[in-house]
Amino acid sequence: MRLAQHLFNRLGECRIDCTFGVPGDFVLPLYAAQAESGMRTIVCTHEPGAAFAADAYGRLRGLGVVLTTYGAGALNVVNATAMSYAEHSPLLVISGAPDLSQRSPEVYIHHRVKSFESQLRIFQEITIDAASVDDPSTAARVIDRVISAVIKHKRPGYLEIPRDMVNHEIAETPELRPGKADHSHIVNSAALNEVATEIIARLDAAKRPVLYAGVGVRRYDSASDAVRLAERWALPVVSSVMGKASFPESHPQFAGIYMGSLGDQHARAVIEESDCILTLGVIHSDVNTGFWTARLDSAAQIRIDDDSVTIGYHRYDNIPFACIVSEIARRRPSRTRRFTAHDTKKTHHAELDGPLATANVIEQLQGLDQSKYSFIADVGDSWFIGLELRTDIFLAPGYYASMGFAVPGALGAAIAQPERRPFVIVGDGAFQMTGCELATLATQKLRPIVLLLNNSSYMMLESLDRPRPYYALKSWDYVLMARSLGCSAERVTSGDELRAALRRAEDADCPYVIEAIVDKSDTSPVMRRIRNHMIAARAKQFANPVMNSQKREIEPARAAKI
């Protein structure tokens, strides 16, 4: 068997039906082998977009692949790969490379930087596993090892394949069998029983238990277990910012997004008053904790992380996330519990005939049939507006916060989950970075709706600082531009116009861009609270967060209360 056959067979076993990339000479033999294997390639306009698309595909399908050339290709996906690492996203970067037979220290082949190993070393800094596949006798095992690591750890991996290895004969290896089953043979069942029993006892004894769902729930494909668990114990469910929509938000027990004092106030009350917080895969980042304004009682927490469970102040190691969540979802409470619903849906009522307000935007997005769409939000107020929606599919660079994710992300989402239409929320700054990937969506006959919020500024930066000339963004003629890329487009300036545009967008058979003119002083509720928090914190000489790494608990940022 040839190396490339093995590689594409494995990707097929992992349910990959396409890769994303831009062709370039060092990767052409891989492109040819991929075509031969019957797997599609989605050619993007620029590698950063290709990698964002692959990342989004991976978030929905468990693995996404970007296929790129050496140097000028691969080094253009470093930022997106770093995002995947930070956000626990299963992205596989496959890079072509110069022929092994042509390498010597004195040979300067185009795309080469310091040494032929520079690129591998760079990717080692931002992946869970990275390898140059340069030995036919170990090639199959190395490929399997990196793919397995990506799937197991939900972190990016890197495979570098020299051009003269692509069609090299290699030894075959057994089927990969990715997924949950991987864990079954390594889990100590006595340990699993002990931890599950302790968790169940805590839940049973609690007066106001709550489930706190993080990004891990989606990454480990544990949403259905989380739903069963929440239903059996009648738990209200709060999600983290980054974990938004990991737990289906259409579920009646969903109580909102927790972001310390800056986010949803109902969700805040539910979780901060809880005496038993079952925390599933939450990363305690600055954003998730509402810039360290989160106040959670460590003694009340049960934290299930990638490979460990922490209860109060003690920890169980080597307990895989999906395994323990599935185990406790199987068990039952000692008495029947009934969930008492609160009406937590927010209602925004804004004038429709005045200038378009952010409140109009939120209200009208809330009015869409959420089950038809996957929402993809970019950084800034696009993301915070997205937090106001109740949606079951929501993708955003919610921790790493790289601008320009949303339009290419829609490409990956549309292909990974064709039954839902992508709905993109993006600001003008982010759109200027990667908006051209709309052309790829049009070429692929996909039909995203793109709501482009044009406030002619890097508003978020300005509101955290003060007006400065370099925050002003010149307005492009976005409508003309979208048309030049094969999309339909229109500009709206009032709530009425937005409503009509959304109706037209629903009927469109191509990408539909709605440029919404908003004032930079009119922001989402979350953005307003962040700004007020930052101003207050600065005024009080903001003290830094103190993290107690032993106890894994977050102590309040002194003087940062608002």
Binding to a copy of itself (CB under 8 A) within 89-118 occurs at 99, 101-102, 104-114, 118
Please give the C-alpha separations between residue 395 and each of 15, 141, 248, in angstroms, as whole numbers: 20, 33, 13
Residue among 76 and 494 whose Cβ is closer to a copy of itself: 76
Cα-flanking dihedrals φ and ψ of residue 130, to 5°?
-145, 135
Q: Which of 413, 421, 419, 411 is nearest to 443 (CA)?
A: 411
Residue among 208 and 552 whose Cβ is closer to a copy of itself: 552
Choices 257-265, 325-333, 368-376, 542-550 (CB under 8 A): range interacting with a copy of itself: 542-550
Residue 549 makes contact with a copy of itself by CB under 8 A: yes
d(CA 343, CA 341): 7
Any idea of the CA torsion for 46, 47, 50, 56, to the nearest 10 degrees?
Answer: -120
Binding to a copy of itself (CB under 8 A) within 431-490 occurs at 432-436, 439, 442-443, 458, 461, 464-465, 468-471, 474, 476-481, 483-486
Judge contact between 59 and 393, C-beta under 8 A.
no
Q: Which residues contact 181 (CB under 8 A, 6 or more apart)?
A: none
Binding to a copy of itself (CB under 8 A) within 140-199 occurs at none
CB of 200 to a copy of itself, least distance (A): 29
- Which of 395, 403, 406, 450 touches a copy of itself (CB under 8 A)? 403
Residue among 302 and 481 whose Cβ is closer to a copy of itself: 481
Residue 402 makes contact with a copy of itself by CB under 8 A: yes
CB of 115 to a copy of itself, least distance (A): 9
Binding to a copy of itself (CB under 8 A) within 267-286 occurs at 283-286
CB of 24 to a copy of itself, least distance (A): 7
Binding to a copy of itself (CB under 8 A) within 405-434 occurs at 432-434
d(CA 79, CA 82): 5
3-state secondary structure 170-222: CCCCCCCCCCHHHHCCCCCHHHHHHHHHHHHHHHHHCCCEEEEECHHHHHCCC
Judge contact between 50 and 78, C-beta under 8 A.
no
Rg (CA), the chain: 24
DSSP for 31-99, please give it: HHHHHHHT-EEEE-SSHHHHHHHHHHHHHHHS-EEEEE-TTTTGGGSHHHHHHHHHTT--EEEEEEE--
Residue among 184 and 484 whose Cβ is closer to a copy of itself: 484
Which ranges of 297-356 would DSSP assign to H, the alpha helix?
Answer: 321-330
* Pairing status of strand 157-162 against strand 40-43: unpaired
Place of tokens 């079952």: 278
Please give the C-alpha separations between residue 540 and each of 217, 287, 358, 462, 560, in angstroms, as whole numbers: 37, 20, 30, 20, 8
Residue among 82 and 350 whose Cβ is closer to a copy of itself: 82
Residue among 21 and 236 whose Cβ is closer to a copy of itself: 21
Residue among 373 and 512 whose Cβ is closer to a copy of itself: 512
Choices 67-75, 196-204, 228-236, 348-356 (CB under 8 A): range interacting with a copy of itself: 67-75
Residue among 112 and 180 whose Cβ is closer to a copy of itself: 112
- Which of 500, 547, 559, 562 touches a copy of itself (CB under 8 A)? 547
Binding to a copy of itself (CB under 8 A) within 212-271 occurs at none
- Which of 116, 394, 399, 423 touches a copy of itself (CB under 8 A)? 399
CB of 127 to a copy of itself, least distance (A): 9
Residue 400 makes contact with a copy of itself by CB under 8 A: yes
Binding to a copy of itself (CB under 8 A) within 121-140 occurs at 121-122, 125-126
- Which of 51, 53, 86, 387 touches a copy of itself (CB under 8 A)? 86
CB of 555 to a copy of itself, least distance (A): 11
Residue 362 makes contact with a copy of itself by CB under 8 A: no
CB of 317 to a copy of itself, least distance (A): 17
d(CA 316, CA 305): 10
CB of 161 to a copy of itself, least distance (A): 17
Residue 46 makes contact with a copy of itself by CB under 8 A: yes
Choices 68-76, 165-173, 208-216, 227-235 (CB under 8 A): range interacting with a copy of itself: 68-76
- Map residues 4-43 to x or -, x wherever contact with a copy of itself holds by CB under 8 A: -------------------xxx--x--xx--x-----x-x
d(CA 519, CA 355): 9
d(CA 377, CA 388): 12
Residue 208 exposed, middle or buried by CB count within 10 Å (0-12, 13-18, 19+): middle
d(CA 165, CA 396): 37
CB of 58 to a copy of itself, least distance (A): 17
Reported residue count of the chain is: 562
